[in-house]
Amino acid sequence: MKILALGDVVGERTLPFLQKTLWEKRRALGADLVIANAENVCDIHGLSPKAAEVLFAAGVDFLTSGNHIFDRRDAHGLLNDSHAIIRPCNYPPTCPGEGSRVITSAEGWRVLVVNVSGSVFMDALGDPFRAIEQELDRHRRSYDIAVLDIHAEATSEKLAIARHFDGRFAAIFGTHTHVQTADEQILPQGTGYITDLGMTGPVNSILGVTPADVIEKMRTHMPRRFTVAEGDVAAHGALFEIDPFVGRALRVTRVKF
């Protein structure tokens, strides 16, 4: 089984690019399932129902998110109603949506997708280790393989979580920093891992933002409205080849298109 995971989709202007390219790339890679982090689609902050619809039509099967998912109120209904969109599982249980859901692939494999937010240099949410454990317990015996999106700032925290849960997930990948890392690997107990998938968005940017906006903010320390950069768009992510009979990764390959 092959799962294509795409890094944070930045800006609505990235959607036409995915509409044009994703299905072809999916077929070329032989991907059975496509997962994308979608918390930055709408002007960097949040996800709208319309944008989610476009992403699904473009070839994405499942959407994870992060600390910006609640920036738009219309995302609340999405999280409650959709079986293919989740928010970090360590948000309080009273928040809209769920932190994990099971999706069935075309071949009939049941894939548990879990989303968690880091606690280092991030909002003070619940313990990510405990939250992940609770999601695994909640879905016990209801899935064949498990996948984890760690939406976190610190690379050390992503790797610590991955090492702790090595062997219990077929694939673990990081999101949030928008820069693809070069440490794709299979951990000792069989989990495919990469610290950050990178970004799906404008190439000539700073993490998807117009460079002048970021530079001015850093130089002056004054408030500055960030805008999504113009120009060419590229997608970054990773392809996880998995043996679904044992729930372990066979290969992890970085992807860019």
pLDDT tens, position by position, 95-112: 999 999 999 998 999 999
Element (H, E) at 148: strand 145-151
Q: Are strands 62-64 and 192-194 parallel, antiparallel or unpaired?
A: unpaired
SS3 135: helix
Query: Quick check: 144 and 154 in contact, CB under 8 A?
Result: no
pLDDT tens, position by position, 219-257: 999 988 899 999 999 999 999 999 999 999 999 999 999
CA distance 41 to 45: 7
Instruction: Please give the domain boundaries of the chain with CATH numbers for all domains.
Output: 2-202+232-256 (3.60.21.10)
CA distance 88 to 112: 14
What's the CA dihedral at 155, 158, 159, 164 to 10 degrees? 160
179 pLDDT above the threshold of 90: yes
153 pLDDT above the threshold of 90: yes
CA distance 169 to 35: 15
Residue 124: CB partners within 8 Å, gap ≥ 6?
Answer: none
**Helical residues (DSSP H) of 74-127, grouped into ranges:** 74-81
pLDDT tens, position by position, 72-99: 989 899 999 899 999 999 999 999 999 9
CA distance 150 to 8: 12
At residue 6, the pLDDT reads: 98
At residue 44, the pLDDT reads: 86
What's the CA dihedral at 250, 102, 83, 29 to 10 degrees? 20
**Tokens (6 digits) for 9:** 């989709």
Handedness of CA 126, 132, 137, 139 (dihedral sign): positive
**Tokens (6 digits) for 182:** 């070069």
At residue 43, the pLDDT reads: 83
Catalytic residues: 68
SS3 115: strand
Name the β-bridge partners of 115.
149
SS3 26: helix
**Percentage above 70 pLDDT, the chain:** 100
At residue 124, the pLDDT reads: 87
Residue 58: CB partners within 8 Å, gap ≥ 6?
Answer: 15, 18, 19, 22, 23
Q: What is the mean pLDDT of residues 168-179?
A: 98
pLDDT tens, position by position, 25-44: 999 999 999 999 999 999 88
At residue 180, the pLDDT reads: 98
